[in-house]
Homo-oligomer: A and B are copies of this chain.
Amino acid sequence: MGALVIGAQAISVAVLGAGAIGRYHAQTIAQRVPGARLAVVADPLAEVASSAGAELACAFTSDVDAVLADRGVDAVVIATPGHTHADLIARAASAGKPAFCEKPLSWDLATADAALAAVQRAGTLLQIGFQRRFDPAFVRAHELASSGALGQVQLLRSITRDPKLTNPERVPPWAIFRETLIHDFDVLCWMAGCEPVEVFAYADALIAPAHRATGLRDTATVQVRFESGALAVADASFQAVYGYDVRAEVFGSKGMVAAEPKAGSGAVVYTPDGERRDRVFWYLDLFGGAYTAELVAFVDAVRHRHPSPVPGHEARRALAIAMAAIESVDAHRPVTIARARSLEVSA
């Protein structure tokens, strides 16, 4: 139990982007993060900003530039669509503000590298929202993998299956790799403890085949080979009718660990149909605690000038795997993963 933090010490945090995850981050900052207070919620769409302000009973604006320029704002949380992240990261850095940014870093490596360069120049803190790194099961698995308790890591697995594909026509291009499996790519690298080397991927539209022609890929499998020789598999689906399915396995020469976020009530129901445990269909039921923990860590890092818990160059690595996976599907061959040049040590 840490000490309560009195108001004077609290940092003032602005949330950019007032969609579902932006509002949840705003609420977390306001209610669940010691040492932080919610300054304002900003969204370029005025009506979105005002509805968020009403819902959260907080200040709101549609003027993002003003927020970035505001000296009273100590840090920002970026929760806008993925393709806008790189630009906002760069602008926050230029404004000297530490930033927590939702995944992915970007949808392409060029803008990602530009954003990371801006962060490096400004010397600001950047944390990417890979919340699995804050889930207790994943934390424990990583602890075992990185401490050597599992010996040499040889095989890995990570999966992400979302519960429902509602609007296939609105899914951004290659979202299966850049928005969904990006989590798995980050987890695999984090667990492997070394750089990814090569990818081979399949992707198809099996759930909504009518949208295949316009580019939808809703189902994918991937293999990743790492520098150490470790081999990984991953798969993703946009529609697991039984609810969220997020898991990882790390297999080493001394043992194996399997991680799965704890979800559901913990009650087991026995009826003539068998023995049943509930699953969850809402992402906050799966990762609510991890979303809080990552913002607590961000505010802590800002306040105590700690290094970023999830630095930009690690998110860049996950993006590089995603880009190689896209190329692998397109070219129908294994693809070497592009390494960043001088950015490995950036913030």
Contacts and interface: CB of A to CB of B under 8 A. Distances in A.
Interface in A306-347: 332-334
Contacts of A82: none
Given A4-B56, A332-B334, A334-B333, A202 B221 contact: no
A138 to B, nearest CB: 8
Given A57-B3, A206-B154, A223-B202, A254 B271 contact: yes
A12 B86 CA distance: 44
Interface size class of A (residues with CB under 8 A): 35 or more
Residue with the greatest number of chain B CB neighbours at <10 A, chosen from A135, A255, A274, A333: A274
A225, A270, A272 pick with most chain B CB within 10 angstroms: A270
A233 B231 contact: no
Nearest to A267: B140
Contacts of A151: 241
A62 interface: no
How many copies of the chain does the oligomer comprise?
A: 4
Nearest to A220: B231
Given A4-B58, A207-B253, A270 B265 contact: no
B230 A206 contact: yes
A70 interface: no
Interface stretch (A25-33, A100-108, A123-131, A179-187): A25-33
Chain A interface mostly helix, strand, loop or mixed? mixed
A269 B253 contact: no
A271 B222 CA distance: 25
Interface in A222-240: 222-223, 225, 229-233, 235, 237, 239-240
7 contacts: A1-B55, A4-B27, A222-B223, A258-B268, A262-B266, A276-B277, A333-B333
Interface of A: 1, 3-6, 23-24, 27, 30-32, 34, 38, 55-58, 135-141, 144, 151-152, 154-155, 157, 161, 200, 202, 204, 206-207, 219-223, 225, 229-233, 235, 237, 239-243, 245, 251, 253-262, 264-279, 332-334
